[in-house]
């Protein structure tokens, strides 16, 4: 079932309107700790140190992983020099020890990608997810 965002999905789950959901585990610690929500697994190949009881789905026999990607984007046609200045700044930010420590504390992995690498990642994700989205859209008609 599709929701406009994770808050709506969480409300439906906590309200007993749905039996399961795919929600980012980051920020859900209080719900796991209270027992209101049970974590069935993580969409990663490795265990998450914040959720040691959650076995990765591939280790449960389900070959599925899900990358949460956040990127910094600019309008098309932005001069390459400006894109490079911003990319260099973002790289320096992600290399900052305080920032990396805070990200690790909240269970979020970090990896800087330059423009070409990030475009390649999006192309790869589009190839993997695109057919599923097209099929879902066709079923909505």
One domain for residues 31 and 43? yes
Beta-bridge mates of residue 48: 51
Residues 51, 73 within the same domain: no
For the stretch 10-56, pLDDT in tens is 899 999 999 998 887 776 778 888 889 888 888 888 888 777 888 99
CA distance 126 to 110: 21
- Specify whether 72 is located in the same domain as 137: yes
For 44, the domain range is 1-66
Domain at 12, CATH number: 3.40.190.10
d(CA 10, CA 90): 31
Q: Which of 59, 25, 30 is nearest to 45 (CA)?
A: 59
Indicate whether 60 and 109 sit together in one domain.
no
| Residue-wise pLDDT tens digits, 123-136 | 888 887 788 778 77
Shared domain check, 92 and 51: no
pTM (whole model) above 0.75: no
Q: What does the mean pLDDT of the chain come to?
A: 85
């Amino acid at each position: 079932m599709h929701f406009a965002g994770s808050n709506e999905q969480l409300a439906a789950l906590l309200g007993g309107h749905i039996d399961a959901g795919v929600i980012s585990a980051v920020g859900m610690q209080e719900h796991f700790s209270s027992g209101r929500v049970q974590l069935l697994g993580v969409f990663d190949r490795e265990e998450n140190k914040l959720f040691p009881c959650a076995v990765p789905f591939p280790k449960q026999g389900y070959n599925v992983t899900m990358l949460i990607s956040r990127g910094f984007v600019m309008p098309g046609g932005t001069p390459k020099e400006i894109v490079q200045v911003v990319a260099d700044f973002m790289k320096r930010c992600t290399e900052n020890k305080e920032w990396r420590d805070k990200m690790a504390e909240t269970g979020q992995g970090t990896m800087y990608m330059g423009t070409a690498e990030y475009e390649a990642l999006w192309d790869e994700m589009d190839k993997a997810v695109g057919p599923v989205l097209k099929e879902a859209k066709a079923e909505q008609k």
